[in-house]
């Protein structure tokens, strides 16, 4: 009898163990293995695909963000495993979209999805010829201003997703939109600190259209073009000295040496006057300090809103003391504008860093690209 009880006890243990192993195996089977999309330069997002659905994690929605966001992009018939965590769900491929920055538009065009754009805040800032045609045809609606989007018009458009950006955590407009059931997804391309890092966010947009492969190919072409231009620049025999930025309310705002703008100058094989400075964005300097330390700079690029030397001198005659001004080597992006006044550089530049770099190479080393026609940077008018 005792022996029988022992045998029954062992059988119960074996059955329990088998059930547990079966349950663990079942849980393992239920946890799908995704495939990471390669992100080689951008640091602000990750993409993992699972066949008919995708998870995007945005790690830097705004500077110094303490929270990240996970977005579930799922096809209509996708089965999502129980317990999958996400902040917003978007059905893909999207057919109607609202974006909120001109930097988002070139990605839509490169993916041949510009026709899906249905609303934008500040249409006059849009420079793209293709997009302006759609605007003129009434295909894209005006949504007001970014800080005060007309939510009534936006809701009437019934977009599949709103791709927004924010400078901080609190955004009442986006919260209002999300309460209506329209998903809002944060795009942090502008927080990237390298030229190719910004451009790689085309992969973020590709995921919304089931065009991961196409987006990767487009980025690789841009990356290869950038690398080729950088390599060409290294063959230059001279490194000219460069200053950048412009005055605003008695302060000269100069890009930090670790900024994405300064990296272009370095990759174009030129000496940036403030290359040793560290920080994001621009630092505020006095006019006197810039003049005292870098009056001999051979080139001045990104000269604010100036388009002519007359404008420059009407602001301050002291600009005449710079060598770059005396030699007529001042270049600005403000001369190339779209039909309604939008500056093309601010729209297309982040998506096409290879063209920005070639512009700079053609300025600093004109013998290396003698036939090149600059896209963004033009010399100030006489």
Residues of the chain within CATH 3.40.50.1980 domain(s) are 35-222, 234-379
Model confidence band, residue 335 (pLDDT cutoffs 50, 70, 90): very high
CB 298 within 8 A of CB 236: no
The whole model's pTM is what? 0.90
Question: What is the arithmetic mean of pLDDT over 246-269?
Answer: 92
Residue 72 CA: distances (Å) to CA of 27, 165, 284: 21, 18, 41
14 sits in which H/E element: helix 2-30
Task: Dump pLDDT digits (tens) for 82-132.
Answer: 999 999 999 999 999 999 999 999 999 999 999 999 999 999 999 999 999
- Local confidence band at 279 (pLDDT 50, 70, 90 cut-offs): confident
Return the DSSP state at 308: B
**Structure token digits, residue 304:** 């604010």
Query: Beta-carbon neighbour count of residue 14 at 10 Å?
Result: 10
**Domain 35-222, CATH homologous superfamily name and number:** Nitrogenase molybdenum iron protein domain (3.40.50.1980)
Give domain 234-379's CATH superfamily. Answer: Nitrogenase molybdenum iron protein domain (3.40.50.1980)
């Amino acid at each position: 009898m005792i022996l029988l009880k022992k045998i029954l006890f062992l059988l119960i243990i074996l059955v329990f163990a088998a059930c547990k192993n079966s349950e663990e195996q079942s849980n393992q089977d239920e946890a799908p293995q995704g495939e990471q999309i390669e992100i080689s330069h951008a640091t602000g997002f990750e993409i993992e695909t699972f066949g008919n659905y995708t998870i995007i994690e945005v790690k830097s929605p705004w500077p110094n963000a303490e929270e990240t966001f996970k977005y579930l992009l799922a096809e209509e018939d996708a089965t999502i495993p129980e317990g999958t965590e996400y902040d917003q769900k978007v059905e893909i491929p999207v057919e109607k979209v609202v974006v909120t920055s001109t930097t988002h538009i070139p990605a839509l065009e490169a993916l041949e999805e510009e026709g899906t754009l249905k609303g934008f805040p500040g249409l006059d800032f849009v420079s793209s010829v293709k997009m302006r045609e759609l605007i003129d045809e009434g295909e894209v609606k005006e949504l007001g201003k970014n800080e005060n989007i007309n939510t009534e018009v936006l809701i009437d458009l019934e977009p599949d997703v709103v791709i927004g950006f924010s400078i901080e955590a609190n955004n009442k407009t986006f919260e209002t939109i999300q309460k209506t059931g329209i998903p809002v997804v944060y795009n942090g391309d502008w927080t990237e600190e390298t030229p190719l890092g910004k451009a790689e966010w085309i992969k973020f947009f590709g995921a919304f259209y089931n065009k991961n492969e196409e987006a990767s190919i487009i980025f690789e072409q841009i990356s290869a073009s950038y690398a080729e231009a950088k390599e060409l620049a290294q063959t230059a025999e001279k490194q000219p000295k460069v200053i950048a930025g412009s005055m605003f309310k008695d302060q000269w705002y100069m890009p930090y040496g670790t900024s994405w703008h300064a990296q272009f100058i370095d990759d174009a094989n030129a000496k940036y006057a403030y290359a040793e400075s560290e920080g994001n964005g621009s630092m505020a300097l006095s006019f006197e300090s810039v003049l005292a330390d870098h009056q001999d700079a051979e080139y001045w690029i990104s000269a604010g809103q100036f388009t002519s030397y007359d404008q420059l001198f009407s602001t301050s005659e002291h600009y005449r003391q710079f060598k770059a001004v005396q030699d007529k080597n001042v270049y600005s992006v403000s001369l190339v504008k779209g039909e309604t006044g939008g500056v093309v550089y601010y729209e297309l530049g982040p998506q096409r860093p290879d063209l920005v770099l070639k512009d700079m190479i053609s300025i600093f080393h004109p013998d290396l690209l003698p036939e090149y026609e600059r896209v963004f940077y033009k010399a100030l008018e006489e």
